[in-house]
Structure 1
Amino acid sequence: MDNNYVESAGRAVLEMMQREWEPLSQDELEQRLDRTVEEILEANLLAKVQDQPGPIYLQLSQLVEEPQQKNQIRSTTELTTLSHVEESESQQLTDAEENAAVQYITDLLQNSNSRYNQSRMAGRARLSLSHTVLLSLTLLSKRLSYRSVSTSFHLEKGNIHRIFFSFCERVNTLEDQQIRWPTGIEAVENLPPLSSLLGKAKGLEEKGVPRVLGVLGHTRIPIRLPIGKQDVESTMPEVKRMKEAHPDSWLNLELVCNHTGRLIHCRISKGSDLDRASALRDKLKQLPEMMPPGTCLVARVGYPASAQILTPYVVGRGPRGNLYNRSLEAHFYLLDQAVADLKARFERLRYLDMGNYERAKAVVLTACILHNVFLDMGKVVNGQVEREAGTQEGEGECDEEGVRRREAIADLLYKELDSEST
C-alpha cells in the first residue's frame, strides 16, 4: 500500500511539473533552469574528454563553445541536414519540404492572428516561422519524442514544447478559413447520388431522392488520462483495464467530409461526451440554407435522423429497407478513408501523450486543418482503413420529419428498382 501512495504522489508531482512546463511562460526560474541544465551537461562533457588526445578535445570544445546564436537561427538547408540524422523517421517531412509544403503553410500563417508573439520567446532560442512549421510538422507526422526532435534541431526540450504549441495556436486561427461548410455553387457541384445501386440514376433527384452533401461520423483519439483520474491502486488485470478505459482517456472527433475527403465540419469533445451530432442537427434545422434543396447528409446508426440527416434502419425492413441501407452504406467508406488518411499523415494522433484536454484538442484541430491544407496542395495519402472497436450503436433520435423522409426515399428507391426489373 505504501508503494502505491508513493507512486501516486510521484505522479501527482510529475503532473504538477508538467502543468508548469507545458504553458512555458517566461518565468525567470524556468529560464534559469534551462541554462543551469545546459551548463551542467556541457561541464560533464568537457570533463569526460579532457583526457582524450588533443584533436578530439579541441573538436568537442569547439562544439560546446559554439555561439548559441548559431544553434538558434539556422537556414532551412541546415535544418534539413540535421533532420537527415533520423532520415528514416523524417522522410515524409523531407518530401513535404521539397514540395513547398512548408512554404505554403508559412504563407497561410503569415497574416494569421495569434496570442503568441515574439515577446514570449525572450531569452530562448528563436526560430523563423518557416523553421517553426518544419519542426511542428515533424512532430505531427511521426510519433517522435520531444527529446528526439530537440536533438535533431539543437533546441532544448522545453523550447520544443513552446514552439509546437505556439504553432498549433496559430494554425487553429485558420479553422473558419480551412474547415468551412460549402455554399453556393461549391455546395451543389459534382455531388454523388444517394444510390449507385440503380442503373438509371437520372431523374431520381426530380422524384425526391437527394444527392449527398457529406458523410457524418466520428473517430476516437487516445490521450493520456489526467493524473487525478488514474486508478493506480486498482487490482484489475491490465488487459481488462485497457478494455474498460476511462472515457477521458480519449477525445471524440466528430467530422463531416465531402466526396473528395475534405473536412467541412469538425467538433472535438471529451470521451465522456456521448452526444452524437445533436448540435449539428439543431444548427441545420435553424439554418436551412446550409443544406441546398435536394441534398442530405448520411450517417451510420446512432446518429439523429432528421430531414437533413439520413440514417439506416436498425432492423431489417425486407428488400425495401435493405436497398435503402445498402445505398447509404456505400458512402460511409468516404469518411472511413478520410479518417485513415488523417491518421496516416499525422501519426501523432495514434496516441497523444498529454493529459491536458485543451492542449490535446488544439493538436487534433491542427491536424484536421492541415489535412485540408494538404488536399488543397494536391498532397494525398492513402491510409489503411481500420474499423474501430466500439459498443453496438442503437437507434439515434428520430424526429417525425426525419422518419417521413427516410420512408419516402426508401419507397422511391424500391419503386425505381422495380421499374428497372420490369
Structure 2
Amino acid sequence: MAKQKIVLAYSGGLDTSVILAWLKEHYDAEIIAFTADIGQKDELEGLEEKALRTGASKVYIDDLREEFARDFIFPMFQAGALYEGQYLLGTSIARPLIAKRMVEIARAEGATAIAHGATGKGNDQVRFELGVAALAPELEVIAPWRLEEFRAEFPGRAEMIAYAEQHGIPVQATAQKPYSTDRNLLHISFESGILEDPWFDAGNSENKDMFVLTVAPEDAPDKPEYVELEFEQGQCVGLNGERMQPLEVMEKLNELGGRHGIGRVDMVENRFVGMKSRGVYETPGGTILFAAHRRMESLTMDREVMLLRDSLIPRYSSIVYNGFWFAPERLALQALVTESQKNVTGTVRVKLYKGNVVAAGVKSPVSLYNPNIATMEADPTQAYNQSDAHGFIRLNALRLRVASGVGQNAE
C-alpha cells in the first residue's frame, strides 16, 4: 500500500524543519515540502537541499511573486484596507495564496493532508485552515503545535534544537535574533521574544540592526525625492513615466521607501483568537502605494461612493486579517470595490522625506474637481448659486431646531 502523502508549508526554519522529520516519523508518511517564493529574497537559498536532507520526498519552491502582487496585494489596496488604523496586512494577505497553492499541489500529488507550523495561539493557523476549508474541504489539516504529543515532546526551543541535532537536521538557531520574523513582497514583521514587552523601544539606536527593509528616518537622506505613480482603475501601472507590472511596482516602491525610512509601524493589535499581541512592521512600498492611491481617489471618486466604501474598510480589513479571503462576503465586497475604482485613473506625485509620504500633486483625465466651481472668485459656469445655500442650510437645520425646542420644554 502506498504511503500517505502530506504537503507541508515549509520555511526551512527550526520549527518546520523539526515538523518535517516528526511528521515523517509519526505518520509514516511521504512529506512533500512546499515553499512559496513571495519575496523572501535570500531566505530561500539552500531550501531545497535542506528539505531533502531533512527527509522530504519532493520539494516545491514556486515563484508566486507576480500572482501575489497582482491578485492579492493590489485588490486589497484598492479596498483601502488598513487593520485597526495601522496595519497594512502584509502577513495576512500572503496566507490565502500559500493555502491556494498547497491545495493545488496536494491534488496534483494525490496527497490526503496538508500540514503547517503555525502555533495554536496565532492567527496564521486560522488563515491557512480557512483557506483550505474553502478550496478543498476534503483535505485533512495537521497542525502539530495543537497536538498534545508534539507539545509534550517539544516544550521549548532547546528540545527542538536537540531533536534537530540528533536527527542530523541542518538548522541554525541562535540568540542573535531574539524575535521571530516573516518577510514577503509587501512587508517584514517582527514579533515575540524581546518585543513581547510593549515598553521596549524597537526603534531606538541600539536596535537599528533589527530592521531589514528601511533605514531609520533620522538616517534617511536630507534631500527629499519625488515620485510619480500612474493609476488606471485603482491599480498602479507605472512609476515616473515607466509602465510596470504589479511586481515591478512593489519592488521599486520598496526600494524607494526603504531608502527614505518610510513604512515603520509599531502596534499592539487584536488577534482573531482573542488575545492582544505586539507587532513591529516594515512596509515601505505599501505605505507609499496606500497614500498615493488615497490621493488619487480624492480627485476622482464620488463622495457617496467613497463614504460607502470607507464604511466597509474595517469590515474588509478584518475579513483579510481573520483569514476569510475566499469567503463569499469578501468576494461580494471586492465586487463593490472594483465598481468603485472605475474612474480612479490619473497621476499622483508624492514627496518622500525622512519617513513621510507627502502629497505633491495629483491630476486625472476624469477628475471630479472643477476649479471654476470651487473657486472663491466669480463662477464663470454659474453651476453654483450661493443664494441656494440659504435653503440648503435651513432644511438641514430643521431637526436641530426641533430637538432644541424639545430640550427647552423638558427643562
TM-score (norm 1): 0.26
TM-score (norm 2): 0.26
Q: Which has the higher strand share?
A: 2
